[in-house]
């Protein structure tokens, strides 16, 4: 995972396809029928936590196609950003 804290205190997150696959298949916490496993993910969050932008494999998700599961996205971000929160800059 790559993260960047911007000058306006927003957070940008890049998660590789390998990382989403590993996350969906981790021992004791598998995510069956994952919509994100094996896909590259980019997310940009405002200082207050609002989601500003998201892309999956370089494209914006289409809510009419059900590209991603919202609960899965939230769980993935929670797991990855918990690690980020503990980093010092």
Residue 43 CB coordination number (10 Å): 21
| Residues in Cβ contact with 75 at an 8 Å cutoff, skipping those fewer than 6 apart | 31
Helix (H) or strand (E) holding 24: helix 17-24
pLDDT digit of tens for each residue in the chain (89 aa)? Answer: 788 877 788 889 999 999 999 999 998 888 888 999 999 999 999 988 899 999 999 998 877 776 788 899 999 999 888 866 655 44
pLDDT of residue 71: 92
Element (H, E) at 3: strand 2-5
């Amino acid at each position: 995972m790559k993260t960047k804290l911007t000058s306006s205190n927003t957070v940008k997150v890049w998660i590789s396809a390998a990382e989403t696959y590993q996350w969906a298949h981790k021992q004791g916490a598998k995510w069956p029928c994952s919509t994100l496993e094996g896909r590259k993910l980019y997310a940009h969050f405002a200082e207050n936590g609002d989601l500003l932008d998201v892309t999956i494999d370089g494209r914006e998700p289409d809510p009419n196609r059900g590209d991603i599961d919202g609960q899965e996205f939230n769980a993935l971000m929670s797991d990855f950003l918990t690690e980020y929160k503990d980093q010092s800059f």
